[in-house]
Amino acid sequence: MVIQYQVTPAPDDGHGLIAYYLPYEIAQQAAATTVEYVDEKGATIHASQTITGTVGKEFDLATDAYKLAIPGYKFSKYDPTQTGKLSDQAQTVKLVYTKDATPVTPNTPVTPTPSNPVNPSTPNNPVTPRTPTTPVTPTTPSSTPTNGNKADQPGTKIETGLEPQASGKVVKKGTAVYSLNKIYLYKNATFKKAQRMAGYVKKPRVNRPMFVVTDYARSANGRLRYKVRDVNHHSNTDGWRGYITANWNYVRPVYYQSKHQTLTVINPLGVNAYKNRNLTGKVKNIKQGTVLKVHGFVRHNLTTRYLLSNGDYITGNRKLVKMGRHQQPKRLVVKKTINRYGDANFTKRNGHFKKGTKLTIKKVTFSHEFSRTRTGVQRYVVNGGYVTASPKFVTVQY
- Which domain covers residue 316, as residue numbers? 262-323
Q: Let me know whether 247 and 268 are in one domain.
A: no
Q: Let me know whether 181 and 247 are in one domain.
A: yes
Query: Does position 134 have pLDDT exceeding 80, yes or no?
Result: no
Q: Let me know whether 186 and 249 are in one domain.
A: yes
pLDDT of 111: 52
Q: Is residue 210 part of a domain?
A: yes
Q: Let me know whether 181 and 222 are in one domain.
A: yes
Q: Is residue 133 part of a domain?
A: no
Instruction: Calculate the average pLDDT of the chain.
Output: 83
Of 73-77, 130-134, 171-175, 272-276, minimum mean pLDDT range: 130-134
pLDDT tens, residue by residue, 180-190: 999 999 999 99
Q: Let me know whether 352 and 317 are in one domain.
A: no
Q: Is residue 21 part of a domain?
A: no
Q: Let me know whether 244 and 282 are in one domain.
A: no
Q: Is residue 285 part of a domain?
A: yes
Q: Which of 117, 72, 116 is nearest to 98 (CA)?
A: 72
pLDDT tens, residue by residue, 300-325: 999 999 999 999 999 999 999 999 99
| Domain end point (choices 84, 99, 114) | 99
User: Which of 37-41, 125-129, 151-155 shows the highest mean pLDDT?
Assistant: 37-41
pLDDT of 395: 97
| Domain end point (choices 226, 253, 280) | 253
Q: Read off the CATH number of the domain in which 311 is found.
A: 2.30.30
Q: Let me know whether 243 and 285 are in one domain.
A: no
Q: Let me know whether 345 and 277 are in one domain.
A: no
Q: Is residue 150 part of a domain?
A: no
Q: Read off the CATH number of the domain in which 50 is found.
A: 3.10.20.320
Q: Is residue 22 part of a domain?
A: no
More confident residue, 132 or 94: 94
pLDDT of 86: 86
Q: Let me know whether 58 and 77 are in one domain.
A: yes
pLDDT tens, residue by residue, 349-396: 999 999 999 999 999 999 999 999 999 999 999 999 999 999 999 999
| Domain end point (choices 253, 279, 308) | 253
Q: Is residue 112 part of a domain?
A: no
Q: Let me know whether 85 and 43 are in one domain.
A: yes
Share of the chain above pLDDT 70, in %: 76
User: Which of 39-48, 120-129, 153-162, 338-347 shows the highest mean pLDDT?
Assistant: 338-347
Q: Let me know whether 230 and 293 are in one domain.
A: no
Give the count of domains, the chain: 4
Q: Let me know whether 288 and 338 are in one domain.
A: no
